[in-house]
């Protein structure tokens, strides 16, 4: 299974080592790739809507028609870890390679949200943008541990 995380974000983050740590814990048949799209520079002459639209176009160019796109959005559905594990199990069985998309500071364009197969909200809390990929990879690892009866997750 190949899982792609696409972040619209600044390139430098101190959290990449945490992502690498969780990736190493997963078996080799689960490959996680984290791609970063540079945020569009904010300016007084460009509206927020135009900025979000430009970021959305960059993201959509990376998505194929057959891809399963999960947009992380504050208005998305909230899932428990066990529900995510069940989704992962279906993805394994159906040979789906999900793409998790993390929007820029102002969120996603309507085109991205309409293209998404699913919208997922991690929390009602406001989280640091750079930590979201870490949380996703940790939850993937946790889901894998649930599906494989590993001791990492405790209910």
**pLDDT of 131 higher than 80:** yes
Is the distance from CB of 23 to CB of 41 less than 8 angstroms? Answer: no
Judge: domain 2-147, CATH 3.40.50.720. no
Q: Which two tokens stand for residue 18?
A: 């945490």
Q: Where are the beta strands (DSSP E) in 28-90?
A: 31-37, 68-77
Mean pLDDT of 108-115: 98
Residue-range domain boundaries for the chain: 2-147
pLDDT band at 154 (very low <50, low <70, confident <90, very high): confident
Taking each continuous run of H as one helix and of E as one strand, the counts in the chain are 5, 5
Q: How confident is the model at residue 10 (pLDDT cuts 50, 70, 90)?
A: confident
Could you tell me the pLDDT band of residue 12, with boundaries at 50, 70 and 90? Answer: low
Sheet containing strand 31-37, strands side by side: 31-37, 2-8, 98-102, 68-77, 118-120
Q: Which residues contact 37 (CB under 8 A, 6 or more apart)?
A: 6, 7, 8, 9, 55, 58, 59, 62
Q: Are 150 and 120 within 8 A, CB to CB?
A: no
pLDDT digits 0-9 by tens, 15-46: 889 999 999 999 999 999 999 999 998 888 99
The Cα–Cα gap between 113 and 101 comes to 10
Of 59, 55, 61, nearest in space to 106 by CA:
55
Choose among 132, 3, 154: nearest CA to 81.
Answer: 154
Model confidence pLDDT, tens digit, residues 38-58 = 999 888 899 999 999 999 999
């Amino acid at each position: 299974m190949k899982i792609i995380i696409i972040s619209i974000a600044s390139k430098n983050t101190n959290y990449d080592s945490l992502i690498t740590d969780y990736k190493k814990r997963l078996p080799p048949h689960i490959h996680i790739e984290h791609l970063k799209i540079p945020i569009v520079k904010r300016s007084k002459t460009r509206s927020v809507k135009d900025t979000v639209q430009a970021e959305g176009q960059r993201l959509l160019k990376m998505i194929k028609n057959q891809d399963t796109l999960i947009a992380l959005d504050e208005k998305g559905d909230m899932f428990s870890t066990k529900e995510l594990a069940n989704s992962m199990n279906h993805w394994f069985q159906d040979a789906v390679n999900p793409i998790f998309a993390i929007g820029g500071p102002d969120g996603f364009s309507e085109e991205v949200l309409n293209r998404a197969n699913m919208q997922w909200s991690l929390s009602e809390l406001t989280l640091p943008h750079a930590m979201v990929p870490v949380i996703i990879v940790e939850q993937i690892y946790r889901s894998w541990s649930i599906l494989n009866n590993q001791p990492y997750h405790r209910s």
